[in-house]
Amino acid sequence: MTGGSGRLASQVACGLAQEGYDIFFTWHQSKARAEATLDELRRHAFGSAMTQCDMASVADIRRAFTEFREHFGRLDLLITAASNFFGTSLGEISEKEWDQLTDTNLKGTFFTMQEGMNLMKEQPFVSRIITITDISANLTWTGFAPYTASKAGVQHLTRIFAKACAPTILVNSIAPGTFTMNPDWNNEQDLEEELRHKIPLKRLGEPAELLSAIRFLAENSYMTGQVINIDGGRLLY
């Protein structure tokens, strides 16, 4: 699982550990948060492990998979959750900002999926890749163009890999809506506005609801190339 120590991803990882998965996850910047996540994982799945990885670096991604192969004998489920997110002004986006968002979100996800596919093809059983994207792939957020373009790109990659990897690797995507406080919101008024006027279910998503979608895709054997939106109805607007 890439980005396994993130705010939402760590809760999902712990939920999977409680269901019997040994978790191998990547982290990038916060070692303390990664170590806390690993400690929690090992309460349920002692064989869990982690490695530092810059998802914008193909060399780092390949090194992480080498470590995975040394630590584990098989890969049942790959979840790509690592992501950069910040707002950008459309008329002033710099090359550095573009690269920071698309190198991690799109390039990093592609090469993670490539490494996972090559490993999974060696296995004599059906395995699964789940990309975590965003409902913004289907929205026109003018203040987040590189981010939303990267997520739309990952959804397209999901369909490409699904077609190429069938029938032994099932590849699907989950696109969450608003699950945690958007870091670009500075006050509760913006959140209240989002809940009141744009989310029909009038609440934020819960980590358990994302976990249930992952569980569904991990168990279903006749679904590939699909995107599941978990957004409280947000895309209806």
- Which residues face 160 on adjacent strands? none
Cα-based distances in Å from 76 to 66, 148, 164: 16, 29, 18
**Catalytic residue flag (residue 222):** no
CA distance 164 to 212: 26
**Alpha-helix residue ranges (DSSP H) falling in 72-225:** 95-102, 108-120, 145-165, 188-198, 207-219
Q: How many CA atoms lie within 13 A of 73 on its CB side?
A: 2
CA distance 110 to 171: 13
- Residue tagged active-site, from 21, 147, 222, 237: 147
Q: Where are the beta strands (DSSP E) in 15-100?
A: 24-27, 49-52, 77-80
Phi/psi for 199 (5° steps) reads -120, 105
Cα-based distances in Å from 121 to 154, 157, 170, 206, 219: 21, 18, 11, 34, 19
Nearest to 151 by CA among 114, 113, 195, 109: 109
Q: Which residues are catalytic?
A: 147
